[in-house]
Amino acid sequence: MKNFDRPDTVADRKAGDGPLIVQVVRQYAPGRGGLEDVVANLSRLLMRRGFRVRVVTLDRLFQSRDRVLPEHEVIDGVEVVRIPWKGSTRYPLAPGVFRHIGDADLIHVHGIDFFFDALAWTRPFHGKPMVATTHGGFFHTPKYAAIKRIWFRSVTRLSALAYRALLCCSRSDMALFSQIAAQRAVLVENGVDTAKFAALSSTTPQRRIITIGRFSVNKRLDRLFDAMQVLTALSSEWHLDVVGSPSDLSEEDLRSEIARRGLADHVTLHIGVDNDAVCRLIAQASLFASASEYEGFGLVAVEAMSAGLVPVLHPNDAYQVLAGQHPGISLADFSRPEDSAAHIEQTYQALLADPLGKRTEMMAAASVHAWESVADRYIDVYRQALGKGKAPQPRSLSA
């Protein structure tokens, strides 16, 4: 076993002689999304602390399954290995993962899927210590809810026995996974890259909203469009920028929803744009909105706060926790268009009354979720998994 130094002794050491952490995740760059961002940021910070990192992922993105990505690539200094897969995007089968874990000191599985189960059930053969991050499990939508509950309490419960820690990235995940993993469930809320969009929002309040994320059914963009229909009837100045990439919903699906509501002049889709383009859009906006029915943590909302945008969010479990931590966040029931539109207008008026104060409040609130301290929390869990440290307490960093 390689030396597992404390984080403060390896902070400036180059990667190359530290333990090898193999992170296994179904989607990674060039794919974009919350899961990909978490793994990329964690990998970057682990390498800065002297660890070696390999990311094992699938060789095709779910939204472009005809394009096979390179088998091996180095992205931002991180070794990325891609493997073939078959089956559903919900549970992609990829047995090639076993070829890339033999030299691992620790395996970190992201998500509750084929990788989570397969690596657990074969642990008697590969013998590697493992941890996993829950990322919301598979309860993002109510579809097949009964079957999911049965699977969770049987297959997932048995698979979880192979992991030395289940890292729950939200309080709702912690409540759920504590039912099947007891003391091995540890709350480590997602870190956020608070530098990426730092202080970018418009310094002059604008009736302009941005939303960012995959075009998934659970994001309920239809309800956000309903709110926009109400808002634009009150003021033609309102505009919504929708940034993301196709998932359960296609670009055509969304354009149809926009046209049906007569919002072509007030809603703009931005498909698969890079960070520079997102920065330019944020610079024109004052508010961030999400009508999502489910979030594992609310990472994009915190990124928006770091820019100085004021969020208006649907009260799902994750957003309610976030709003409890940061009172400047506005919660609005997007199933009721008139009410959600009224909340958006009220949030804008509050910003108009104190632009500098509101922007500063949002940026300060986002800073407590910065990745630096979260990475140290992950390392504490790794140390315990390898028998090198005390067990982490089952609480969040901000508790």
The residue segments making up the domain with residue 169 are 7-191+370-385
Residues 381 and 268 in one domain: no
Query: Which pTM was predicted?
Result: 0.73
397 is a domain residue? no
Q: What is the pLDDT of residues 72-114, one digit of tens each?
A: 999 999 999 999 999 998 899 999 999 999 999 999 999 999 9
**SS3 at position 107:** strand
Q: What is the pLDDT of residues 104-163, one digit of tens each?
A: 999 999 999 999 999 999 999 999 999 999 988 776 556 667 888 898 999 999 999 999
Residues 130 and 235 in one domain: no
Q: What is the pLDDT of residues 158-188, one digit of tens each?
A: 999 999 999 998 888 899 999 999 889 999 9
Residues 380 and 300 in one domain: no
Residues 102 and 215 in one domain: no
Instruction: Tell me the pLDDT of the chain averaged across its residues.
Output: 90
pLDDT of residue 142: 63
**SS3 at position 5:** coil
Q: What does the pLDDT average to over 31-43?
A: 90
Q: Are 313 and 305 in contact (CB under 8 A)?
A: no
Residues 351 and 329 in one domain: yes
208 sits in which H/E element: strand 208-212
Residue 10 pLDDT exceeds 50: no
Report the number of distinct structural domains present in the chain. 2
Q: Are 245 and 214 in contact (CB under 8 A)?
A: yes
Here the CATH number for the domain that contains residue 163 is: 3.40.50.2000
Question: Nearest to residue 96, comparing CAs of 113, 84, 110, 114?
Answer: 84
20 is a domain residue? yes
Q: Are 241 and 232 in contact (CB under 8 A)?
A: no
Residues 252 and 379 in one domain: no
Residues 145 and 23 in one domain: yes
48 is a domain residue? yes
pLDDT of residue 388: 72
